[in-house]
Amino acid sequence: MTPRRVGNGVVRDIIGPNGATDAHVDARLTSTAVPPRGQSTIELPQPGEDLFLYFVKGNGRIRAADLDHAIDLYDVVLATPGEETAVITAGGQPLNYLSFYLKSFMHTNGQR
């Protein structure tokens, strides 16, 4: 798993083309660690995918043009490829989250 930087965050591909494991599912999975008071940007899903992002350590804020919310342990963010990307800012401790890029599962106006 070769880490890469997205803002101050360190992203590791766990499952997917650059992942460290062989996938037995049709999905991608990344792990992101953001240092205290650091920032990272959500990497949006690709066409045909939706994002299930799960905060597993720490707290902070998530911001976009029409979004400004506190985030805490076990909070979830859902996103589709057409969304505006959001910035995640860690609080006073490290913030870790998992990004599950899954086959489209969200419905809009009765359609996927």
Where residue 90 sits, what CATH number does that domain have? 2.60.120.10
Q: Does residue 52 fall inside a structural domain?
A: yes
Q: Does residue 83 fall inside a structural domain?
A: yes
Q: How many domains does the chain have?
A: 1
Q: Does residue 108 fall inside a structural domain?
A: no
Q: Does residue 107 fall inside a structural domain?
A: no
Whole-model pTM: value is 0.89
Q: Does residue 112 fall inside a structural domain?
A: no
Q: How far is CA 41 from the centre of its chain?
A: 8
Q: Does residue 111 fall inside a structural domain?
A: no
Q: 12 is in which domain, residue-wise?
A: 4-102
Q: Does residue 109 fall inside a structural domain?
A: no
- The CA distance from 108 to 90, in Å, is 31
Structure tokens at 50: 């939706």
The pLDDT of residue 27: 86
What value, to the nearest 5°, has the Cα angle with vertex 42 and ends 40 and 44? 155
Average pLDDT over residues 107-111: 60
Per DSSP, the three-state class of 26 is coil
- Of 42, 43, 34, nearest to 91 (Cα)? 34
The pLDDT of residue 18: 64
